[in-house]
Amino acid sequence: MTPTLDWLAEPCPPIDQTAVQHALARQDQLTKPPGSLGRLEELAVRLAGLQRTATPEVDPVRVLLFAADHGVAAEGVSRYPQDVTKQMVRNIANGGAGVAVMAKAVGAGLDIIELGLATGSEVVEGVRSEPLGPGSGNIAREPAMTPEQLARALDIGRDAVDRAVDAGVRLIIGGELGIANTTAAAALACALLDRAASEVVGPGTGLDSAGVNRKAEVVARALALHASEPRDPLEMLRRLGGFEIAALAGAYLRAAQRGVAMLIDGFIVSSAALAAVRLQPAARDWMLFSHRSAEPGHRLMMEALEADPLLDLGFRLGEATGACAAVPLLRLACAVHRDMATFDEAGVSNAC
Ligand SMILES: Cc1cc2ncn([C@H]3O[C@H](COP(=O)(O)O)[C@@H](O)[C@H]3O)c2cc1C
Ligand SMILES: O=C(O)c1cccnc1
């Protein structure tokens, strides 16, 4: 039976403006010239509003990493072979992948959810396997997903967030893995933003300029094949996305519905965040953005989401590594907000 999509319409709670006003007032009483801790101050105020509290906290943090293969890999759009997806799932579970090392280093939990691999799923300790097929369809020739697969993928994302929030998680991070998923993400972003393939497609794992041109042609073919009227974000996600991208869209929407802050990583997950915001604009309030991806099309997605990511470190790995790198900044923001002395408490003279 196809799961119902009714839950997608459940409302997202608003930010607590009273908590925002109190947090702003406290920031101005702390022993520093107002605004001198810049975006750390903004982060604390934002988290206070999201968490409806005077003392926001980000811990526990959990990374939800969704992995899946993509049929469009057959078009030669990645520098790496498709087998890498499965090999990297093992590497993440074994603690050797970038996200595994970084999540551990910053004290974030890591849930690995596999939604379908080209050579079949396998039992790997520490990996939750929920295969929807051997990967999504080749978007240059067919839709990425059937309606049933889309609904299941959205539900898998929702359920991962529900498990995390029920366990007390205060900050949700989405991560992805899937060879060729920068092609799917670019195609989805083009459709959602009404942009041409050449404006959004980039090198991904490291294509040369001839490779980027070929990839843009593949995306242009996919866009021509799947042009949909009316412009429905769910249908764009089904036709042009992928299992892990749809799960991420479901996860982001659910985090907003549950009133939990999320930290958005790089290029691929941003296409899912954009889809979630197109489904429910109020979901945007619950999103923080970790870093600017070196993948050129990321900039257009950030502009559309009115996002100004915290870091710009030349990252282009995905997996949630950029978001892990930003976690200590969020912790610092909360520590400063909670623990700095006020002018009164410290006996320091405020401005004349
Ligand atoms: C070893 C390795 C580890 C990765 N970890 C994330 N990605 C990233 O690169 C892939 C997308 O790029 P493209 O569309 O060019 O294939 C995804 O797996 C993404 O998570 C990786 C890629 C590789 C090769
Ligand atoms: O920014 C990302 O998420 C990204 C960019 C290139 C390849 N994989 C991931």
pLDDT at 1: 58
Mean pLDDT along residues 265-276? 98
pLDDT at 231: 84
Cβ 289 under 6 angstroms from ligand 2: no
Neighbouring C-beta atoms of residue 343, cutoff 10 Å: 15
The set of catalytic residues is 319
Cβ 316 under 6 angstroms from ligand 2: yes
Helices (H) and strands (E) in the chain, counts: 14, 6
pLDDT at 76: 98
**Tens-digit pLDDT profile for residues 106-130:** 999 999 999 999 999 999 999 999 9
Specify the residue with its C-alpha closest to ligand 2, atom 7: 204
Q: What long-range pairs does 128-135 form, CB within 8 A, spacing at least 24? A: 130/156, 132/68, 132/243, 133/243, 134/69, 135/68, 135/69, 135/70, 135/71, 135/73, 135/82, 135/242, 135/243
Q: Where are the beta strands (DSSP E) in the chain?
A: 61-67, 109-114, 127-129, 171-177, 261-264, 287-289
- Using a pLDDT cut of 70, give the percent of the chain over it: 99
With CA atoms as reference, report the closest residue to 252 among 101, 99, 66: 66
With CA atoms as reference, report the closest residue to 5 among 170, 201, 191, 157: 157
**Tens-digit pLDDT profile for residues 182-204:** 999 999 999 999 999 999 999 99
Model confidence at 337, in pLDDT bands (50, 70, 90)?
very high
**Which tokens is 192 given?**
């959602």
Mean pLDDT along residues 304-324? 98
The pLDDT of residue 290 is above 80: yes
Model confidence at 17, in pLDDT bands (50, 70, 90)?
very high
The pLDDT of residue 3 is above 70: yes
Distance 27 CA to ligand 1 centre (A): 41
Distance 230 CA to ligand 1 centre (A): 33
For residue 79, the ligand closest to its alpha carbon is 1
CA torsion angle for 49, 51, 52, 55 (degrees, to 10)?
-90
Q: Rounded to the nearest 10 degrees, what angle do helices 181-193 and 267-279 cross at? A: 40
The pLDDT of residue 14 is above 70: yes
* Cβ-contact 174, 270 below 8 angstroms: no
- Region of residue 38 (left: phi > 0; alpha: psi -120 to 50; beta: else): left
The pLDDT of residue 336 is above 80: yes
Q: How far apart are CA 158 and CA 254, in angstroms?
A: 5
**Tens-digit pLDDT profile for residues 242-269:** 999 999 999 999 999 999 999 999 999 9
DSSP characters over 161-203: HHHHHHTT--EEEEEEE-TTHHHHHHHHHHHHHT--HHHH---
Atom of ligand 2 nearest to the CA of 294: 1
- In which order are the strands placed within the sheet that holds 61-67? 127-129, 109-114, 61-67, 171-177, 261-264, 287-289
pLDDT at 63: 99
ipTM of the complex: 0.99
Cβ 270 under 6 angstroms from ligand 2: no
pLDDT at 2: 66
Cα distances (Å, whole numbers) of residue 189 to 3, 29, 226, 303, 305 = 26, 43, 13, 12, 12
Distance 91 CA to ligand 1 centre (A): 13
- Using a pLDDT cut of 90, give the percent of the chain over it: 97
**Tens-digit pLDDT profile for residues 66-105:** 999 999 999 999 999 999 999 999 999 999 999 999 999 9
Cα distances (Å, whole numbers) of residue 279 to 12, 64, 107, 122, 288 = 11, 21, 32, 33, 18
Rg, the chain, Cα only: 20
